[in-house]
Amino acid sequence: MTLSAAARISAPVYPLVVEAASMRIGDEQRCDVAAREALLDDAFGASRFEKTCELLRVARLPARHLALVAKDKGAVVGTLRFWHVNAGGVDALLLGPLAVAHSHRSCGLGGALMRTGLARAAALGHKAVILVGDEAYYTRFGFSRANAARLDLPGWYEPSRFLALELASASLARAQGMVVATGRLDEAALSRAA
């Protein structure tokens, strides 16, 4: 399966889907949640809940129209979500987690999820995206350490993995200081935890 050549972006604004052969990238549905969680457990292990970025996601809802899944013949094989944050005084999105099933890696699916998500975020008017991840992977999408250099996260992280992307020119020019979660609270998750 090669996605990059065959992928088709169907619309400039949501619903933005990529389809190629049996593959489809689209909005995550409620029925996808268990499969997405299993995919994330497999990709990151139980320690995924200890990451500093999790502090910015826990008990929050992802940004509207920015919870994506990739499906192959209806089975979830990729996931990418974005979360509202304020990044040192500037409204931004936190990207992640991004994961692709082992069976579907190195076919371009991670890249297709990234490009679909970033295109949709830009179409929705978002101006900047931050993440913690491997620089060697994310620079190909335009992320850089320099864009995040004056920002801080509310916990431990490797500075070399803290990256940011300006979707609008100079959108992070005045961003300085702590990143804080600003997304809507997930009332269902909160009542389950109570």
Ligand X SMILES: CC(C)(COP(=O)(O)OP(=O)(O)OC[C@H]1O[C@@H](n2cnc3c(N)ncnc32)[C@H](O)[C@@H]1OP(=O)(O)O)[C@@H](O)C(=O)NCCC(=O)NCCS
Residue among 5 and 136 whose Cβ is closer to ligand X: 136
Closest approach of Cβ 169 to ligand X, in Å? 26
Residue among 70 and 87 whose Cβ is closer to ligand X: 70
6 near ligand X, judged by CB under 6 A: no
Instruction: List the one residue from 136, 170, 193, 194 that touches ligand X (CB under 6 A).
Output: 136
Instruction: List the one residue from 48, 54, 55, 137 that touches ligand X (CB under 6 A).
Output: 137
DSSP labels for 130-188? EEES-HHHHGGGT-BSGGGTTEE-SS---GGGEEEEESSTTTTTT--EEEEE-SPB-HH
| Whole-angstrom distance, CA of residue 88 vs CA of residue 178 | 5
With CB atoms as reference, the residue minimizing the distance to ligand X is 110
Closest approach of Cβ 95 to ligand X, in Å? 8
| Beta bridge mates, 132 | 162
